[in-house]
Amino acid sequence: MDRRVIVTGGSRGLGLAIAGHLTSNGWQVGILARDEAGLSEAVRSRAAVTSVAVDLTDSTAAGLAIDQLAADLGGVDALVNNAGKVLRSRFEKLDPAQFRSVIEQNLFCAVHATHAAIPHLKQSGGGSVVNISSISGIQPLPGGSAYAAAKHGLVGWSRSIFHEFRDEGIRVSLVHPGSIEAQESSGVPAEEVARAVAAILEAPPGTVISELEVRPLKPPRA
């Protein structure tokens, strides 16, 4: 099986962990993000073989970037939509432009990347789209209403296109991580989420792991 995958938001954090883990397991990985320096470092460290700097909220730019990585990789067998951002603020204090920005980053980046990748997946005979959601995509997040709204939208969209593309051999999956471990807080190690993504991508033909929650065993502590 060909193993060519594009990871969005791949220059740092969870996206970089996913890219590095897939690379170490024999995937040819291309990454997208806005951070040119971070992308260059990821390629230098061999977490990926190629990269393109792009703002995925721009649908035209997203299409060109996906096409470029598809050419670099010789095709696309999988797409991991990880790009996004968290904004914590009470709703009444949110500027409408901030709310819209969070929706664009966490929903439309995935929509634009997937729209551009589908023709390449079909050309490869099928493949996988893995959308990184959040526990906040299936439950409330007080103080993070814009993020929860975006992730709930991502979940509804993903569940819908799952049914649209399954007969064409394209698997659509959702991963709902809990809080990701960081220097200042406990949570799920990014590497464990990366392992879960790899397991979804490497599921036997004819099967799909449609949704998966990855939570820390103990409640996160700030």
Quick check: 82 and 10 in contact, CB under 8 A?
yes
Under 8 Å CB-to-CB from 81, ≥6 apart: which residues? 8, 109, 110, 113, 114, 129, 130, 131, 132
What is the structure's pLDDT at 220?
Answer: 67
CATH number, domain with residue 152:
3.40.50.720
Residues serving a catalytic function are 147
- Tell how far CA 70 is from the center of its chain: 17
Least confident range from 6-20, 127-141, 181-195: namely 181-195
Question: What is the DSSP code (8-state) at residue 105?
Answer: I
Please give the mean pLDDT across all residues of the chain.
94
Domain that holds residue 170: 4-214
Residue 99 pLDDT greater than 80, yes or no = yes
What is the structure's pLDDT at 187?
Answer: 86
Residue 3 pLDDT greater than 60, yes or no = yes
Residue of 62, 140, 67, 56 whose CA lies nearest to 106: 56
What is the structure's pLDDT at 184?
Answer: 61
What is the structure's pLDDT at 222?
Answer: 56
Residue 130 pLDDT greater than 90, yes or no = yes
Domain tally, the chain: 1
Q: How confident is the model at residue 1 (pLDDT cuts 50, 70, 90)?
A: low
What is the structure's pLDDT at 93?
Answer: 92
Per-residue pLDDT, averaged over 96-120, amounts to 97
Under 8 Å CB-to-CB from 120, ≥6 apart: which residues? 66, 67, 70, 75, 76
Question: What is the DSSP code (8-state) at residue 102?
Answer: H
Would you say residue 222 lies in a domain? no
Least confident range from 42-56, 137-151, 174-188: namely 174-188
Per-residue pLDDT, averaged over 19-24, amounts to 98
